[in-house]
Amino acid sequence: DSGVTQTPKHLITATGQRVTLRCSPRSGDLSVYWYQQSLDQGLQFLIQYYNGEERAKGNILERFSAQQFPDLHSELNLSSLELGDSALYFCASTGTSGTGDTQYFGPGTRLTVL
């Protein structure tokens, strides 16, 4: 158990809909990273937040957005969903002293867009 939690585990929705994925980092971790893993693309970095502020952006679509709240949990919002958005979405956290910035991953959310 990495200490990072993600909800829901599975999400099935239709094209055009909007969903929110939630991530709770390990206790004390300030940074949250979001990654997408689709069958044909592998693991791709989407976005990073540090203590509530956006720190870095990767291959994140304009239809996707994220935020980190004062309690440090993060949400990834996916809107106008397309079939190609079906994927596993992972979050990772870092920041606890003694571990450098080793990223620890959550169990992921499997999104299926029908």
Partner 1 sequence: DAKTTQPPSMDCAEGRAANLPCNHSTISGNEYVYWYRQIHSQGPQYIIHGLKNNETNEMASLIITEDRKSSTLILPHATLRDTAVYYCIVRVNNAGNMLTFGGGTRLMVKP
The binding site for partner 1 (CB under 8 A) comprises 2, 4, 31, 33, 35, 37, 42-45, 48, 50, 55-56, 58, 88, 90, 92, 94, 100-108, 110
Q: In angstroms, give the least distance from the CB of 69 to partner 1.
A: 19
Q: In angstroms, give the least distance from the CB of 44 to partner 1.
A: 8
- Residue 8, preceding bond cis, omega within 30 degrees? yes
Residue closer to partner 1 (CB basis): 59 or 77: 59
**Contact residues for 60 (Cβ-Cβ < 8 A; gap 6+):** 34, 46, 47, 66
Q: Which residue has the tokens 């709240």?
A: 69
Residue closer to partner 1 (CB basis): 38 or 65: 38
99 — phi, psi (to 5°)?
-115, 10
Q: Which residue has the tokens 């397309």?
A: 82
Q: In angstroms, give the least distance from the CB of 21 to partner 1.
A: 13
